[in-house]
Structure 1
């Protein structure tokens, strides 16, 4: 229950704090190498290579996600990109999740939230250890009720 509330707060906060506009970027040809693994960015949990999110949002999210990770309950990584080229966002989320090995290997408690702006998609990829707390239907409801309306309003933060 606490984890669901935290994910609700996280996704709402990610999208609610305010809009941040940047010039259009060319489509990515190799998103796997273009999107940095947050763990390589100085112990962060957010990959924001196109600067879609404001620095204050990045700082707040990293602090929240660090606390969640340190609790041992779950490890969440967030990716916000303008484009992944022609790749399907679900395929990209799975590939990034597996490449980055998100979460504790014993608990399989990783989650990746991927925002792909040009395709107007948000994907949530969860490890098996979180499926009881966050089944696909719950992730879908979070997206539809909270994330999609704010994304349509271009409120990415």
Structure 2
């Protein structure tokens, strides 16, 4: 082996030192990126975290739950009886819930989780449930569909119903008329009679845009992390861990494929669903609107 002396030795030593320094800097920057990624993941979890506490599945399972007494007793009874009669005839359960506010939570995500927790739907086999949630003080309303109803009550049709059959009444302060009109429209959709409006809505769900932007940013971070560590197996494993964390968050929050189960049984007759909630699955389908 050739020994280095004098100037060559100093230059080689300096080069090795610089390489070591560069590696440490790069490693620290990568670790910082991983930390920032994890912080971003935490922010997403916070964004989707539950601010509103979903009520426990009621023992008496019916079709209308007015937690703020927005409807008069007669209005509530009329809407309730209509929905129960429809469920008895078709086995499709349409449930309406009224609250004051979602307490900062995205109403569509809350409603999907709510429908999942209660198991709204005639049966797990049919997944034929529809859940309408009104947050009066937030001025928001959403329609969420079970797997067995979303092929008819699509996201676009749900948005049409909200914008043209429900919100016009809400703007006038007539909440019962809006809910009743929305329910009638849902019935028509399920029977193939709903025509809807020919106007294509130009509005876009802002919360959905935010979610897409977050996903794009995360994938950019992951991709850059993978490219910057192709030469080392250790960096590749870090990227895999980061990708795994992202996939876990998406699967735990997206709803599709993750929602099922629910309650079974309930009280029959007396204004409630005859067989109770059957445990229909919800995958996040539906639409949201405001006024």
Q: Deviations over 1:14-38 (max 9, x none)?
A: xxxxxxxxxxxxxxx64313xx64x
Q: 1:84 to 1:31 in 2, by over 3 A?
A: farther
- Identify the match of residue 90 of structure 1 among 97, 108, 116: 108
- Identify the match of residue 107 of structure 1 among 103, 126, 132: 126
Note if 1:70 corresponds to 2:122.
no
Question: Larger % of helix: which?
Answer: 2
How far is the alpha carbon of 1:73 from its aligned partner? 4.0
4+ residue stretches of structure 1 with deviation over 3 A?
none
Alignment gaps of 5+ in structure 2: 1-50, 177-291
Q: Deviations over 1:77-134 (max 9, x none)?
A: 1001111211111111011010000002110000000001121111001001111221
SS at match of 1:67: helix
**TM-score (normalizing by structure 1):** 0.74
Alignment gaps of 5+ in structure 1: 1-28
SS at match of 1:52: coil
Larger Rg belongs to? 2
Q: 1:145 to 1:30 in 2, by over 3 A?
A: closer
Note if 1:32 corresponds to 2:32.
no
Superposition RMSD in Å: 1.5
Task: Give distance in 2, aligned partners of 1:126 and 1:148.
Answer: 19
SS at match of 1:126: strand
Task: Give distance in 1, aligned partners of 2:72 and 2:124.
Answer: 31
Larger RCO, structure (CA 8 Å, separation 6 or more) = 1
